[in-house]
Amino acid sequence: MELFTTSFLTGLLTIIIIDLVLAGDNAIVIGMAARNLPPEQQKKVIFWGTAGAVILRIIATLVVVYLLHIPGLLLIGGLLLLWIAFQLLTDEKDHNVEAGKSTWAAIRTIIVADAVMGLDNVLAIAGAAHNNYWLVIIGLLVSVPIVVWGSTLFIKLLDRYPFILYIGSAVLAWTAAKMMLDEKLIKAYLPNPIFFQIIIVAIVLLLGWWIKHRNTGKQDE
């Protein structure tokens, strides 16, 4: 895949959407880790914490892109990504992160928390990159700063327009189905790949919607 072709730009847009949807929690973590520091130190912590998180995320994603060449791992990765897409619609997440008491403690908290919470991002972006290492690097360099500095706005948008979450889940499910289709072990058995991807996306969205509304109904009782 060459740089800035239609395929490259489509992949880049997919990575940005994935990171925006999945990294909302990471943005909250960054804010919570720096909340006890003076305003002038908070900017420094957010900058260096984000820089460290981006570097670690790029390294981890490149490793996963390489590992996906192993036979069978594309199928496993696709199934895991389907679960992440489903969990995105149904999970209520807790954000109990201890605030750092010093600049470096807060930076360390951000990097460690992002590494732990960013495993879903790593897998999703590796799947969307289709073996293009430049796409991984550029996608993360573009999307992570957007998440960090636009986190408040994005979280408000999610609260106001819940359908954004369904768009993100659909992109993840589509990427997961594409990963599974790229697996040589099953590729020959699926002659109509587009139909397969549409069915997978529909199942994830409908099942996620049903369980979320069922859980909401139980809480109201």
Q: Which residue has the higher pLDDT, 188 or 98?
A: 188
Which of 125, 113, 37 shows the shortest CA–CA distance to 81? 125
Which of 129, 204, 197 shows the shortest CA–CA distance to 166? 204
Q: Which of 30-34, 50-54, 125-129, 183-187 has the least mean pLDDT? A: 30-34
Which pLDDT tens digit goes with each residue over 131-179? Answer: 788 888 887 777 666 666 655 566 567 668 778 778 878 888 888 888 8
Mean pLDDT, all residues of the chain = 75
Intra-chain end-to-end CA distance of the chain, in Å: 53
Q: Which residues contact 55 (CB under 8 A, 6 or more apart)?
A: none
State the pLDDT confidence band at 25, using cuts at 50, 70 and 90. low
Q: What is the secondary structure of 175-214 as a DSSP string?
A: HHHHHHHT-HHHHTT-S-HHHHHHHHHHHHHHHHHHHHHH
pLDDT for the residue numbered 156 = 67
Q: Which of 19-33, 46-60, 168-182 has the least mean pLDDT? A: 19-33
Which pLDDT tens digit goes with each residue over 84-106? Answer: 888 878 765 544 445 555 777 77
pLDDT for the residue numbered 6 = 79
pLDDT for the residue numbered 44 = 77
Report, as an integer, the average pLDDT of 116-129.
75
Is 170 exposed, middle or buried, given 0-12, 13-18 or 19+ CB atoms closer than 10 A? buried
pLDDT for the residue numbered 95 = 47
Report the predicted TM-score, pTM, of the whole model to 2 decimal places: 0.68
Percent of the chain with pLDDT over 90: 5
Q: What is the spatial distance between Cα 147 and Cα 30, in angstroms, rounded to a whole number?
A: 10
Domain boundaries, the chain: 6-220
